[in-house]
């Protein structure tokens, strides 16, 4: 029996549901699995576990920023079995490659890699008060994730496997989009040009509830920021204390939804 830690990030819930299914597949073979959502803070030390899994949504053809930050802190994998799964809507790009490359560079021994169709991101959903397709992932994807967990367990028991090929790298136009949604751009450009529009109807909807790591506050409920002193404040600007890093995590989708251009006299 191995002790496994699955560290994941899930803005809309699909990666979480897949993580739970992978965990079920591993548990069915007698392994003990702990799940940790990066939105809840730093995960436990992976040194206490025999196996480390990373679950991550594709955000602009790369892993979500919070997962990249976690990967950067990782050390001491030397030979530890690791696995990766990535959720995506249409085109995964380098998301899986980046996670797998980081785990490999830190000495992890890859046990498996899988991609799963998650939620489609379609602005029309906003009319219904949500940003993601709520029925995803499909029951097929969940069953597939459970099987993936079972395959991992068999590999842990010694069965051989051919490592999955890396995904093809995205063409230049995707890399441009990646740059335009990079942390640098968000910090240097969007944070200077936009502010949160607290009057926006969108803020009153479920969109706020699914923002990455619940980074922005709901205007009436004042929840979600992690900084109670800011709860329900009249204005939250992207360059306020602490808000820049939250804005970074929120990314450009959320920016499009809740940020409005600064007026000239602001």
Ligand X SMILES: Cc1cc2nc3c(=O)[nH]c(=O)nc-3n(C[C@H](O)[C@H](O)[C@H](O)COP(=O)(O)O)c2cc1C
Interface residue list for ligand X (CB under 6 A): 10-15, 57-61, 87-93, 118-119, 121, 132, 251, 253
**Shortest distance, position 214 Cβ to ligand X, whole Å:** 12
Closest to ligand X by CB, 15 or 217: 15
Question: Least distance in Å: CB of 253 to ligand X?
Answer: 4
* Shortest Cβ 45–ligand X spacing (Å): 24
Q: How far is the CB of 18 from ligand X (least distance, A)?
A: 8
Round the CA-based radius of gyration of the chain to a whole number and report it: 19
In the complex with ligand X, the residue whose CB is nearer, 12 or 96, is: 12
Q: How far apart are CA 211 and CA 220, in angstroms?
A: 16
CB of 218 to ligand X, least distance (A): 18
Cβ-based nearer residue to ligand X, 52 or 255: 255
Q: Which residues contact 246 (CB under 8 A, 6 or more apart)?
A: 213, 215, 216, 225
Residue nearest to ligand X (CB): 118
Q: Which is nearer to ligand X, 81 or 118 (CB)?
A: 118
Determine contact, residues 55/19, Cβ cutoff 8 Å.
yes
155 or 187, CB closer to ligand X?
187
């Amino acid at each position: 029996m191995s002790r496994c830690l699955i560290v994941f990030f899930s803005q809309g819930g699909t990666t979480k549901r897949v993580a739970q299914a992978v965990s079920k597949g591993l548990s069915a073979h007698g392994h003990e699995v702990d799940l940790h959502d990066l939105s809840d803070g730093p995960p436990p030390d992976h040194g206490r576990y025999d196996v480390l899994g990373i679950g991550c949504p594709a955000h602009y053809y790369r892993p979500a920023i919070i997962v990249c930050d976690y990967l950067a802190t990782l050390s001491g994998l030397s030979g530890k079995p690791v696995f990766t799964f990535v959720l995506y809507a249409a085109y995964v790009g380098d998301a899986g490659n980046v996670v797998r490359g980081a785990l490999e560079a830190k000495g992890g021994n890859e046990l498996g890699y899988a991609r799963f169709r998650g939620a489609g991101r379609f602005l029309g959903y906003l009319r219904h008060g949500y940003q993601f397709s709520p029925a995803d992932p499909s029951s097929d994807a969940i069953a597939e994730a459970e099987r993936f967990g079972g395959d991992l367990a068999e590999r842990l028991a010694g069965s051989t496997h051919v490592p999955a090929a890396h995904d093809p790298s995205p063409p230049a136009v995707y890399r441009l989009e990646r740059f335009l949604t990079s942390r640098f751009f968000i910090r240097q450009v969007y944070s200077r040009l936009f502010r949160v529009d607290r009057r926006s109807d969108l803020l009153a909807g479920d969109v706020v509830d699914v923002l990455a790591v619940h980074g922005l506050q709901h205007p009436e409920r004042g929840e979600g920021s992690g900084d109670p002193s800011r709860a329900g404040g009249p204005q939250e600007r992207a360059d306020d204390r602490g808000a820049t890093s939250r804005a970074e995590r929120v990314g450009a989708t959320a920016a499009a939804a809740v940020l409005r251009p600064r007026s000239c006299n602001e």
